[in-house]
Amino acid sequence: MGCKLTKLAASELAEDAFHRPPPPADPRCPLTTKQQYCMLASWKGIYRQIEKTGIILFVKLFEENKELLALFTKFSELHTAEHQLSSTELAEHASKVMHTLDEGVKALRDVDGFMTYVRHVGATHHQVDGFQASNFWKIEQPFLEAAKTTLGERYTPNIENIYKLTIRFILENLVKGYEDAAPSKGQTEIDLNK
């Protein structure tokens, strides 16, 4: 009798372990190892259309946040989606942003390298006059919509969840990098007295 209970308990444990997702490779990363694999596999579809996806992202971003156009001197006059879709300047910037996201996605398995890279990118946004850390969060929904448009039927509920976790992790670290690079009031006062 004890033998049957042992077998039953062992089979329940094995089944439970089978259905549980694997633990994250690094506890700082919100994605499990399996989710990271799915993200990288799915990302190939985005990468093949990286510029197009980036343009979709920016058109959607500006539809929802017209005030952000003023931050971009090269294409601040592009007030319609038609003008934005045909702009080489916007395409170049969209491609640059998407390649930055590509580097972040590919670095997910090395969280230290990921954080160093993404936080550095966040810090560089202090060079943009009028930029605020909260602007990073405005990218989340346009990014998800652009990914959905590019991936089509491959954008399943599971992939959507993985993309949400990924973009939030990237945005959190962009914000952290931006905030950590902000000069403190004490530093500003000292710099002004030089």
Q: How far is CA 22 from CA 40, 112, 182, in A?
A: 16, 20, 37
Question: Residue 20 domain-assigned?
Answer: no
Question: Residue 82 domain-assigned?
Answer: yes
Question: Residue 175 domain-assigned?
Answer: yes
Question: Residue 188 domain-assigned?
Answer: no
Question: Residue 108 domain-assigned?
Answer: yes
Question: Residue 119 domain-assigned?
Answer: yes
Q: Is 23 exposed, middle or buried, given 0-12, 13-18 or 19+ CB atoms closer than 10 A?
A: exposed
Question: Residue 49 domain-assigned?
Answer: yes
Question: Residue 2 domain-assigned?
Answer: no
CATH number, domain containing residue 66: 1.10.490.10
Instruction: Show the domain range for 143.
Output: 30-182
pLDDT tens-place string over residues 138-172: 999 999 999 999 999 999 999 999 999 999 999 99
Taking the model in full, what pTM does it have?
A: 0.81
